[in-house]
Chain A
């Protein structure tokens, strides 16, 4: 596709449930990023992949958060035992340049609501 695709667009989870959020980056993009955006705040960095390698996961808020990109294309962000504070929009972005100085293309995000 022409852009970064994320699914589902909306997800409601009961507290304690596991969720998986999918990101389809632009074809051929080497770099992939996940960001978390709480209501009224700017996006915050979670993790970064270069191809299939997860080079930085310093922004993941707890060990309940796990991300993977096994074949260097599609990525999944998994949250185990969801808590109410996990409610946010999860954004995925990709870039064609390895950590380069060009702009990233973001998806429209997945809005996660934990009830």
Chain B
């Protein structure tokens, strides 16, 4: 079972920031939060991951609450090409049995509107 809860869908105006929430209230201390997205007819694409500190890269920012029970993926200036399903995934940090699996839920379908 997926260990995360995300809204089914969201809309965002082009050029505005898209803030995608994720609840992971049962996350363990050794689990990372990963975000992937899947554009129509393509495979999932890695976006960003974090453990407890906020992270930023060229694609997005990841804000993790202090208690680590929820996080928000921020796309600072959404474009039409950001229309996709966004998956929030928790995954163990250690390299042991089962740590390599990614357990996808249904994700959030983000529609960027012109």
Q: In chain B, residues 1-59, which have Cβ atoms closer than 8 Å to a Cβ of chain A?
A: 2, 32, 34, 36, 41-47, 49
Q: Is A65 an interface residue (CB 8 A)?
A: no
* Bound: A11/B54 CA distance, A: 42
> Is A101's CB under 8 angstroms from B93's CB?
yes
Known: A4-B43, A98-B95. A104 touches B102 (CB 8 A): yes
> Is A33's CB under 8 angstroms from B100's CB?
yes
Contact with A31, one of B34, B36, B100, B106 (Cβ below 8 angstroms): B100
- Total B residues in contact with A, Cβ cutoff 8 Å: 29
* Bound: A38/B107 CA distance, A: 14
Chain B residues with CB below 8 A from A95, complex form: 100
- Total A residues in contact with B, Cβ cutoff 8 Å: 27
> Is B95's CB under 8 angstroms from A100's CB?
yes
Contact with A103, one of B46, B96, B101 (Cβ below 8 angstroms): B46
B32, B42, B100: most-surrounded residue (chain A CB, <10 A): B100
B72 CB to closest chain A CB (Å) equals 19
Q: Mark B97-109, 1 if CB is under 8 A from A, else 0.
A: 1111111111100
* Bound: A108/B104 CA distance, A: 17
Q: Which residue of A lies closest to B48 (CB)?
A: A103
* Bound: A99/B95 CA distance, A: 5
Chain A residues with CB below 8 A from B103, complex form: 45
Can you sample 29 A-B contacts with CB below 8 Å? A4-B43, A31-B100, A33-B100, A40-B106, A42-B2, A42-B87, A42-B104, A42-B105, A43-B44, A43-B102, A44-B104, A45-B101, A45-B102, A48-B101, A93-B43, A98-B95, A99-B95, A99-B96, A99-B99, A100-B95, A101-B32, A101-B91, A103-B36, A103-B46, A103-B47, A104-B46, A105-B46, A106-B45, A109-B43
Q: Given A56-B97, A93-B44, A103-B49, output 11 extra A-B contacts at Cβ < 8 Å.
A: A4-B43, A33-B100, A45-B102, A91-B43, A98-B95, A99-B96, A101-B49, A103-B34, A106-B43, A106-B44, A108-B42
Pairs of residues from A and B, 5 with the lowest C-beta to C-beta distance, nearest first = A103-B46, A106-B43, A42-B104, A99-B100, A99-B95
